[in-house]
Amino acid sequence: MQFTTVKGFKDILPGEVEIWQSVESTARNLFRSFGFHEIKTPLLERTELFTRGIGEATDIVSKEMYSLTDTRGRSMSLRPEATASVARAYIQNRLYLKNPVQKLFTIGPMFRHERPQKGRFRQFHQIDAELFGDPGPKSDAEIIVLSATLIDALGIKDTVLNINSLGCRECRPEFRERLQRFMQDRSEQLCPDCKRRAEINPLRVFDCKVKRCNEVVSDAPSILDFLCDSCRHHFEAVKDYLGLADVSFTVNPRLVRGLDYYSRTAFEIQTDKLGAQNAIAGGGRYDGLVKLLGGPDHPAIGFAMGVERVVALLQDTETRKPERPDLFIADIGENARKTSFAWLLRLRKQGLWVETDYGSGGLKAKMKKADRLGAARVLIVGDDELESGRAVLRDMDTKDQTEIELGNVVETLLSLILMAS
Ligand code: HAM
């Protein structure tokens, strides 16, 4: 029997991994300049953290979690997103005592049992940033600017930033009620899923991909007409800050998010290059979550970007040259194999990528191997060369060959290679 990956899970192979590394290092550098610190939380948490945090009626919690029961009968789940876990860590470790404003980021796999399709996986990765402890519109703008700057720094073009305000505990209930009535009046025209959504969470109908539901939604009431003064001022100020930051955005009153913890600002960065899965990053303010999870009443805002989606966009435009070994040592004969093994280790210690092979084949076979690996140059060394104290260095691009002294071979190779790079 041959084993293959589970449906919706995938291997990330050399060739693609380099793009992942570059995405992660761009993110880490940017997070540093915005003052965010990395945190790593477990992949497995108590199921209740997510049911309470994300919301029992959401698709994520009601049908997409990978849950199991442990030997003591407790329900555990693989994290479907990072926010609830980071908020738990913030509360459990009382991070707020160290600094009233905590800026944290995390990078890692998430799990959702969704129907796999282009850009949608059951194990996927997020780059996630969370800012705890500030209620003001400036931190909303900082998080939105951070996500837009990240997309920009990654070289992703033609994206649209949609923003909305989802109101607060004061003003949302009235809107929800009005929307519910609106949807109930048109229930016959809605898809079966939205019929159910209209009852439990009518805002989610905005997110439906079914054309009929889209038509119904097109003249639904707008949340922006229901915002209380405080939410309206907050949203205006966020927009002002975004204007100051020169970030272009579209106000989209139909933008809702698939998680229940949001209040006020919500946003998404979208592309039309990934088919139905058009969101590259999304986030928003979640002022009630920390308290809901048993912590102090601290406001927060954050976002997460889907790494698979970003990598798919970058793969389409990727022009980077693949990395190649700096040197291949073609060692012919027992003595050369042993002597050059020490050179190889010393050169690697200096950070060079040095390859050799493990067989005792002849020069032709070794040159073929060096060529297949794409080595930039080959050092040819056999027993004769050891005796004469001189060996040949072949440039694999120009085919030029030079003789080098074996006296200080490591230093000579190091300076030649560093000079050329
Ligand atoms: P989300 O919108 O559910 O938000 O996910 C954020 C991003 O993760 C999406 O925009 C998408 O790029 C990626 N993503 C989601 N599901 C999948 C999937 N099945 N396959 C591939 N990529 C996927 C959250 O998770 C919130 N926790 C974001 C947040 C942080 N809000 C506040 N702080």
For 52-65, the pLDDT digits (tens) are: 999 998 899 999 99
pLDDT score of 318: 66
CA of 267 to the centre of ligand 1 (A): 12
pLDDT score of 359: 80
Average pLDDT value over all residues in the chain: 94
CA of 411 to the centre of ligand 1 (A): 50
Return the higher-pLDDT residue of 214 and 51: 51
Instruction: Count CB neighbours of 11 within 10 A.
Output: 8
Amino acid of residue 64: E
Would the CB of 295 count as within 6 Å of ligand 1?
no
Tokens of 252: 């989209």
Asked: is 327-415 a CATH 3.90.170.10 domain? The reply is no
Tokens of 207: 């997110």
- The dihedral built from the CA positions of residue 211, 213, 217 and 219, taken in this order, carries a sign that is positive
Any idea how long the chain is?
421
CA of 410 to the centre of ligand 1 (A): 49
Instruction: Count CB neighbours of 72 within 10 A.
Output: 5
pLDDT(7) > 90: yes
Give the CA angle between residues 117, 123, 128 to the nearest 5°: 110
Question: pLDDT, tens digit, for every residue of 14-23?
Answer: 989 999 999 9
Q: Are β-strands 390-395 and 377-382 bridged in parallel, bridged antiparallel, or unpaired?
A: antiparallel
Q: Give the DSSP letter of residue 120.
A: B
Lowest mean per-residue pLDDT among 91-105, 208-222, 329-343: 208-222
pLDDT score of 320: 65
Residue nearest to atom 18 of ligand 1 (CA): 120
Q: Measured between alpha carbons, how far is 302 from 389 in angstroms, rounded to an integer?
A: 62
Given a contact cutoff of 8 angstroms between Cβ atoms, the answer to whether 131 and 143 are in contact is: yes
Q: What ligand 1 atom has the least distance to the C-alpha of 269? A: 10
Give the CA angle between residues 69, 71, 75 to the nearest 5°: 25
Return the higher-pLDDT residue of 1 and 233: 233
CA of 306 to the centre of ligand 1 (A): 6
Would the CB of 309 count as within 6 Å of ligand 1?
yes
Calculate what percentage of the chain has a pLDDT beyond 70: 99
Question: pLDDT, tens digit, for every residue of 367-395?
Answer: 999 999 999 999 999 999 999 999 999 99
pLDDT band, residue 50 (cuts 50/70/90): very high
Kindly report the CATH class assigned to 17-171+227-317: alpha beta
pLDDT score of 392: 95
Residue nearest to atom 12 of ligand 1 (CA): 306
CA of 110 to the centre of ligand 1 (A): 9
Q: What ligand 1 atom has the least distance to the C-alpha of 310? A: 12
Q: Residue 186: helix, strand or coil by DSSP?
A: coil
Q: Measured between alpha carbons, how far is 209 from 276 in angstroms, rounded to an integer?
A: 8
Would the CB of 128 count as within 6 Å of ligand 1?
yes
Q: Residue 345: helix, strand or coil by DSSP?
A: helix
Would the CB of 312 count as within 6 Å of ligand 1?
no
Mean pLDDT of 274-289: 94
Residue to mutate, 163, 204, 259, ligand 1, most ligand atoms under 8 Å from C-beta: 259
pLDDT(167) > 70: yes
Question: pLDDT, tens digit, for every residue of 395-416?
Answer: 999 999 999 999 999 999 999 9
CA of 158 to the centre of ligand 1 (A): 20
Domain chopping of the chain, boundaries: 17-171+227-317, 327-415
Residue 358, Cβ density class (10 Å: 0-12 exposed, 13-18 middle, ≥19 buried): exposed
pLDDT band, residue 275 (cuts 50/70/90): confident
Would the CB of 279 count as within 6 Å of ligand 1?
yes
Q: What ligand 1 atom has the least distance to the C-alpha of 126? A: 8
Question: pLDDT, tens digit, for every residue of 317-349?
Answer: 766 677 899 999 999 999 999 999 999 999 999
Residue to mutate, 10, 63, 65, 124, ligand 1, most ligand atoms under 8 Å from C-beta: 124
CA of 222 to the centre of ligand 1 (A): 24
Mean pLDDT of 282-304: 98
Residue to mutate, 309, 313, 314, ligand 1, most ligand atoms under 8 Å from C-beta: 309
CA of 275 to the centre of ligand 1 (A): 16
Mean pLDDT of 127-155: 97
For 198-337, list the strands marked E by DSSP.
250-251, 265-270, 279-285, 300-306, 327-332
Lowest mean per-residue pLDDT among 26-35, 206-215, 232-241, 366-375: 206-215
pLDDT score of 208: 86
pLDDT(225) > 90: yes
**Residue 285: CB partners within 8 Å, gap ≥ 6?**
140, 262, 263, 264, 265, 266, 299, 300, 301
Would the CB of 194 count as within 6 Å of ligand 1?
no
CA of 283 to the centre of ligand 1 (A): 8
Q: What ligand 1 atom has the least distance to the C-alpha of 122? A: 19
Q: What ligand 1 atom has the least distance to the C-alpha of 114? A: 19
Given a contact cutoff of 8 angstroms between Cβ atoms, the answer to whether 353 and 325 are in contact is: yes
Residue nearest to atom 13 of ligand 1 (CA): 306
Mean pLDDT of 291-313: 97
pLDDT score of 132: 98
Would the CB of 280 count as within 6 Å of ligand 1?
yes
Residue to mutate, 63, 126, 130, 301, ligand 1, most ligand atoms under 8 Å from C-beta: 126
pLDDT score of 335: 92
Q: Measured between alpha carbons, how far is 391 from 333 in angstroms, rounded to an integer?
A: 14
Would the CB of 270 count as within 6 Å of ligand 1?
no
Given a contact cutoff of 8 angstroms between Cβ atoms, the answer to whether 305 and 140 are in contact is: no
Mean pLDDT of 138-163: 97
